[in-house]
């Protein structure tokens, strides 16, 4: 057997595999001899079928099967030995006049080669946000807590500080949903004025467009799909069944104990410090996610290299269960190109910086996640054996292993970016972070 490679250019190559009779003949003869022993052909006793008849009936199929096995086995071995970094899979070149009656066979495969490039984490400056909880946010949280634990006082008439409960209806859209909300969620004076002064039992007619400050409230209260809610512009009725105001709970030791456990917090200043600490711990996750996104986008944008686009489009055409048209393959390639570029960049970062996900790392990572999930359900101190047993069950599932590996790899890359990327730290309040990053409030 002889395998040769012709490099068309830096990103494309053709591998030719030549298979001689000596490569497959012994194996084909061995298989046919076994067939002869067991063949059940009318007119012949079992084990006494002439070899010529066995070859005529089974020879071609055995030959094709054996040659294909040799082809795949040796092509894969060649790619590994030559350390060829290929994209997709080798694509066989069609041969119109291929002859299985010949004794030697030649097969050609097109290869798409991964590009050579370097990744410079220092090239572009990226903002790393340090999100702090300011006094405005902390005071707002305290007021929300006081409302939550406060006393509910029934009203006959709606006021600006009311919390109303009622039913939204719209016959055409088949909407009939109960909802409870405070009037600070209502957007604009015109809408607010429809509520203020209304009495329990009244029915208001409202336009859904710009009804709430946050469209997600509209989605939750009317049970409308996320994709539909932003453009929803219909008329709804809202019948007021209840109007209540809340007498704020006192900031006393009884409330502190409910919030943080008996005796753990004893002053308002300690409450504020605890709220600040908890909020900023959560902000780290958002800041880290934004950093990961920004570095990723920057690397994709600024790490320049070519791809074997024509090869990849041909490969996409035939890679799925159903063959795509050239137009469909072009569309799929356009959709996946950005992801492919980042995958190559990520692979380069992992290799250059020796980033590894070992099984022990994965097990410890899964145990941390399990511990956090159990804490949410009040199980604060699971035993090591419990964690070991649950982690073992999770890691026996290959799909879970793949998912956790991706998460842990992202975490390790984030640590790499914090260490080596060109970062500019910026302290912001959460409100300003949302405005700066998303352009508006959530």
3-state secondary structure 334-390: HHHHHHHHHHHHHHHHHHHCCCCCCHHHHHHHHHHHHHHHHHHCCCCCCCHHHHHHH
Domain positions in the chain? 2-113, 151-247, 267-305+353-438
Please name the helix (run of DSSP H) or strand (run of DSSP E) that holds residue 152, with its range, or none.
strand 151-155
Burial (Cβ within 10 Å: 0-12, 13-18, ≥19) of residue 271: buried
Average pLDDT over residues 241-263: 93
Return the DSSP state at 214: S
Average pLDDT over residues 306-335: 94
Indicate if the alpha-carbon torsion angle 346, 351, 355, 356 is positive or negative.
positive
**pLDDT value at residue 442:** 44
For 88-138, how does the pLDDT look when each residue is reduced to its tens digit (9 = 90+)? 999 999 887 888 989 899 999 999 999 999 999 998 899 999 999 999 999
For 98, list phi and psi in degrees, rounded to 5.
-70, 135
Percent of the chain residues past pLDDT 70, beyond the cut? 99
**pLDDT value at residue 320:** 84
Average pLDDT over residues 68-89: 94
Question: What's the CATH architecture for 151-247?
Answer: Roll (3.10)
CB 129 within 8 A of CB 435: no
**pLDDT value at residue 91:** 95
SS3 208: coil
Residue 40 has pLDDT above 90, yes or no: no
Question: Predicted confidence band at 440 (pLDDT cuts at 50, 70, 90)?
Answer: low
Q: Higher pLDDT residue, 144 or 46?
A: 144
Phi-psi region of 88 (alpha: psi -120 to 50; beta: other; left: phi over 0): left
Q: Give the fold, CATH level 3, of 2-113.
A: Alpha-Beta Plaits (3.30.70)
For 90-99, how does the pLDDT look when each residue is reduced to its tens digit (9 = 90+)? 999 988 788 8
Average pLDDT over residues 433-440: 82
| Tokens 């076994």 -> residue | 34
- Among 30-44, 340-354, 418-432, the minimum mean pLDDT is found in 30-44
Whether the model clears a pTM of 0.85, i.e. scores above it, the answer is no
Q: Which residues pair with 428 in a beta bridge?
A: 131
**pLDDT value at residue 441:** 44
**pLDDT value at residue 44:** 81
Cα–chain center distance at 89 = 24
For 391-414, how does the pLDDT look when each residue is reduced to its tens digit (9 = 90+)? 999 999 999 999 999 999 999 999
User: Across the chain, what does the average pLDDT equal?
Assistant: 92
For 181, list phi and psi in degrees, rounded to 5.
-155, 155
Question: Predicted confidence band at 204 (pLDDT cuts at 50, 70, 90)?
Answer: very high
């Amino acid at each position: 057997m002889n395998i040769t490679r012709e490099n068309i250019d830096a990103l494309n190559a053709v591998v030719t595999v030549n298979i001689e009779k000596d490569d497959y003949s012994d194996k084909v003869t061995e298989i046919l001899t076994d067939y002869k022993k067991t063949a059940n052909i009318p007119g012949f006793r079992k084990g006494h079928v002439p070899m010529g008849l066995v070859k005529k009936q089974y020879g071609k199929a055995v030959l094709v099967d054996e040659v294909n096995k040799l082809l795949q086995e040796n092509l894969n071995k060649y790619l590994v030995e030559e350390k060829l970094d290929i994209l997709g899979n080798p694509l066989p070149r069609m041969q119109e006049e291929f002859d299985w009656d010949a004794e030697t066979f030649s097969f050609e495969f097109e290869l798409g080669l991964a590009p050579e490039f370097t990744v410079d984490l220092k090239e572009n400056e990226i903002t790393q946000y340090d999100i702090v909880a300011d006094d405005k946010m902390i005071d707002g949280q305290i007021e929300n807590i006081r409302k939550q634990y406060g006393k509910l006082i029934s009203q006959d008439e709606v006021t600006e500080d009311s919390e109303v409960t009622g039913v939204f209806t719209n016959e055409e859209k088949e909407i009939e949903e109960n909802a409870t909300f405070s009037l600070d969620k209502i957007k604009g004076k015109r809408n607010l004025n429809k509520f203020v002064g209304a009495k329990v039992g009244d029915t208001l007619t409202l336009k859904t467009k710009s009804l709430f400050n946050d469209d997600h409230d509209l989605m939750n209260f009317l049970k409308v799909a996320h994709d539909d809610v932003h453009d929803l512009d219909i008329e709804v009725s809202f019948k007021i069944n209840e109007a209540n105001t809340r007498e704020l709970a006192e900031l006393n030791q009884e409330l502190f104990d409910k919030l943080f456990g008996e005796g753990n917090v004893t002053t308002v200043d300690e409450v504020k410090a605890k709220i600040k600490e908890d909020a900023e711990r959560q902000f780290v996750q958002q800041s880290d996610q934004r950093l990961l996104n920004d570095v990723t986008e920057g690397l994709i944008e600024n790490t320049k290299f070519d791809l074997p686009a024509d090869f990849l489009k041909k490969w996409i055409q035939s890679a799925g269960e159903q063959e795509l048209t050239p137009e469909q393959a072009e569309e799929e390639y356009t959709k996946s190109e950005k992801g492919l570029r980042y995958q190559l960049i990520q692979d380069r970062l992992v290799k250059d910086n020796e980033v590894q996900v070992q099984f022990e790392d994965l097990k410890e990572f899964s145990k941390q996640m399990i511990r956090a999930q159990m804490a949410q359900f009040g199980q604060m101190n699971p035993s090591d054996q419990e964690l070991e047993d649950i982690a073992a069950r999770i890691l026996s599932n290959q799909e879970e292993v793949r998912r956790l590996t991706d998460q842990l790899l992202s975490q390790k890359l984030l640590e790499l970016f914090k260490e080596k990327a060109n970062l500019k730290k910026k302290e912001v309040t959460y409100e300003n972070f949302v405005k700066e990053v998303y352009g508006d409030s959530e």
